[in-house]
Every structure is written in structure tokens, then in C-alpha cells.
Amino acid sequence: MNSAPQQLDEEDLQLVNALQVVPRMPWTALGEILDRHPTSLAARWRRIEGGGGAWITAHPRGNPDQMALSFHDVRCTPNHRRSVAEAIGRIPEVFSVEECHRDRDFMLTVISANPALLTETVYPQLEAIPHLSGFESTFCTRLHRTASDWELDALTPAQRRALQAAAGSPPSPESHPGPPPASFGPIMRVLGQDGRATAAQIAEATGLHPATARRRLQRVLESGALNFRCDVSHRATGYPVMCQWFARLPASDHDAAAEELASMGALRLCASTTGRSNFMFMMWHRSATDIMSVEQLASQRLPRLEIRETVIISNIPKRAGWHLDSDGRRRGHFVDAGHQWD
């Protein structure tokens, strides 16, 4: 039996929350706002990151008007879950793998540069996995909320305002339609593993001239094509229960419903989709009783929301390219998908 995972303390949570707001802010600026010495903050972050409790990554935003974002329910033969999960996790385009125990064994999130890549590259890899008995696909038609939109509640309002003011307005991906430029690929691979990587680190990792690395990094940051996020272990931050809902809702209500759901809890995903259900959302919870509370609130505030299925997620073997342990800590290796944009 696994021992209880060590949770992050209050100062850890405060630092992680600040990095959720401003993932790439320099330690000196963070130190002024959090009233801590920059060296102490950097050392604390190295400890948290080294223990797998939190990390910063970057990935394509997955907006359906820029690339193909799809969800897949996977079934496998009994007693082969581990080998199937490991094989799925090695597929670069598979962004996340979630394990469950109802009508499907795994739920996958796949980001591909275009729909052709999905059918020509991803499907054959899934079909080649031994003991994978079948899968069904749905496609995202609008992405309302992602994990990068959710934050811990560990900062004071004044600290949050100061961080947002120091960061300025984020770049808008809408002003840069289409997939990331080809030159982004090498930089995306480095930022996927370390979202705080500097131009010097990128130059060293890619072989680019330092001036070229600095110029291209700036273009990446200004483009809005990448989503930078400080990700966390669900157990280390006190959210041991994960639940996903599949629902039907009139299309005209989707945007407003996403706003309402965001006020009800730790909303980690909300999307409009094709398929038997046309609206899905996922939350992290402090306890299983929160699931009923969310459903009661949703029925009161969203009377036209018809929940078709409630699925408990038992494990997340892979999230945003990183392999995780059963507590959601970053323990494994990073599976790079940046080759799609080379």
C-alpha cells in the first residue's frame, strides 16, 4: 500500500500559485511581490520541481481553429492495462492519458497539427498496440477552459493584482491564426520540458546561435501560439478526486455554462465536442462528496444541462507530455511532440 503523499506547504502553494499566474516571471520580480528573497524562491522552486510536485511546461494551445484537438475513449483487454497505457503514452501526439473504469479504460487527449496527421499517424499507432481492443473519437469544436485557466487559491488579492500588473496583457493567439511556424519546433521541444528555459539554455539545447535563439524565443512568446502553465500534482495540492462529465446542452448556452462551471470548483477542462454528448468538463475535488455538490449546483444554475455520464478518473499516466506517478507527480520522462511543427 502506498504511503500518503507529502503535500505542499503554504509557502510552496503560494509560490506555485504565483507561477500559475506568471510562469516565466523573473525571480527578482516574484521576490518583490511575494516578499521573499529571489534566491530563496529559486531554491524552493527547485525543491518542489525536483520532487515532482509542480513543474512548468509549454504546449500548443490546441484551439480547434489552429490545429486538431480530439478526445478518444480507448478499450483494452483485461489484465493488460499497464502495457497498453505505456504504449499509448509513447505516442508523441497523445497529450494526456487518463485511466477510468466504466465503458472505457482510458480517455486520451490528442493534439495534432492537422486532421490528416491524426488519421495518417496517430490512428495507425493506436491500432498497432497489442491488447488495445478498440477506440472511439470525438473532436473539440470549441475549447472553453483548460488546466492553465485554473489556479490555486493561495495568494492575497493584492498579490494577484500585483502579479497581473507586472505581467501585462498576455499575447492573443487570435491575432496569429494557424499552427505555429516551422521554426518554432526546436524551441517548443525545449519549452515543453522547461517552460522557464532562457534563450541561453535554448541555444545550448538546440545548437542555435544565441542571438537567433533569443530572437526566435521572443517570437514564440509574442505569438500566443503556446500555452505556458505551471502544472501540479493533484494529491500534493490536496485534490485526490478527479471527475469528468459528459453532457448535452444547446450550443447557444456553452460559453455561459463554462463561466458558471468555473465558479463551482477546480475546473480543469471544458470543451464543446462532436459525438453523442456535445459538452464535456472535468474538475478536481477535495473529496467525493464534492461531485454531488457540483451536480446539484449545475442543475440549479444550468437547467438545460443534461448530464449523460459521470466518470471518475482513477489515474493520470501522462499529462501534457509528461509521465506521472499515481499521485500525479512528475516522475517519468517527457514525450516530445514538437516534431509536428518542424
CA angle 112, 117, 122 (to 5 degrees): 80
* pLDDT > 70 in the chain, percent: 92
pTM for this model (two decimals) = 0.90
Query: How high is the pLDDT of residue 338?
Result: 58
Q: Determine the average pLDDT of the residues in 246-253.
A: 97
Which sign does the torsion angle of CA 40, 46, 49, 52 carry?
negative
Q: Determine the average pLDDT of the residues in 269-290.
A: 96
Identify the band that residue 2 occupies on the pLDDT scale cut at 50, 70 and 90: very low
Task: Label residue 238 left, alpha or beta by phi (over 0 means left) and psi (-120 to 50 means alpha).
Answer: left
Say whether pLDDT at 226 is over 90: no
Instruction: Report which of residues 183 and 219 the model is more confident about.
Output: 219
Q: Determine the average pLDDT of the residues in 141-170.
A: 91
Q: Determine the average pLDDT of the residues in 143-165.
A: 94
CA distance 56 to 230: 4
Q: Name which of 181, 68, 185 is nearest 120 in CA terms.
A: 68
Ranges of each domain in the chain = 1-237+316-342
Q: Name which of 169, 180, 36, 38 is nearest 112 in CA terms.
A: 180
Q: Name which of 146, 84, 56, 58 is nearest 109 in CA terms.
A: 146
CA angle 283, 285, 289 (to 5 degrees): 115
Query: How high is the pLDDT of residue 318?
Result: 97
| CATH code of domain 1-237+316-342 | 3.30.70.920
